[in-house]
């Protein structure tokens, strides 16, 4: 499970949908009382930002014109996080650029706008 925490507009479709799915997995894991210590230690999640991140991802779905072909019907239903975790956003940005051509293009287009 990973929260990229970069602005959702930079995420390709796969990473956007993947992070959304992983947020729901993370909430389920927390509700079951399972440990997420490894994810916290790895700086992969911010429990206190799950709900706001979910909202940001859903807003990006809508900005892209979804739910045409993608119906978001999975609210977090009363999930309340607690203060835990810190994601290294800059490291995640670099990792997305390294591993995903589509995300790299999205970041590059933004950089060109401000060059």
Check residue 81 and give its pLDDT.
84
State the average pLDDT over residues 93-112: 89
- 115: confidence class by pLDDT, cuts 50, 70, 90: very low
What is the length of the chain?
Answer: 115
How many whole angstroms from its chain centre is CA 114?
Answer: 24
- 80: confidence class by pLDDT, cuts 50, 70, 90: confident
- 13: confidence class by pLDDT, cuts 50, 70, 90: very high
- pTM, entire model: 0.88
Check residue 44 and give its pLDDT.
96
Q: What is the pLDDT of residues 56-67, one digit of tens each?
A: 999 998 888 876
Q: What is the pLDDT of residues 30-50, one digit of tens each?
A: 999 999 999 999 999 999 999
For the chain, which residues make up each domain, given as ranges?
Answer: 8-113
Q: Do residues 30 and 36 make contact, with C-beta atoms less than 8 angstroms apart?
A: yes
Q: What is the pLDDT of residues 65-74, one digit of tens each?
A: 876 656 677 7
Return the HEC string of 33-100: CCCCHHHHHCCCCCHHHHHHHHHHHHHHHHHCCCCCCCCCCCCCCCCCCCCCCCCCHHHHHHHHHHHC
């Amino acid at each position: 499970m990973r929260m990229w925490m970069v602005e959702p507009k930079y995420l390709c479709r796969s990473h956007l949908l993947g992070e959304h799915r992983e947020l729901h997995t993370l909430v389920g894991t927390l509700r079951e009382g399972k440990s997420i210590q490894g994810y916290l230690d790895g700086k992969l999640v911010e429990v206190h930002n799950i709900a706001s991140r979910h909202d940001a991802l859903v807003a990006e779905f809508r900005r892209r014109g979804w739910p045409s072909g993608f119906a978001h019907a999975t609210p977090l239903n009363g999930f309340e996080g607690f203060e835990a975790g810190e994601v290294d956003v800059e490291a995640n940005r670099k990792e997305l650029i390294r591993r995903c051509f589509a995300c790299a293009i999205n970041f590059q287009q933004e950089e060109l706008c401000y060059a």
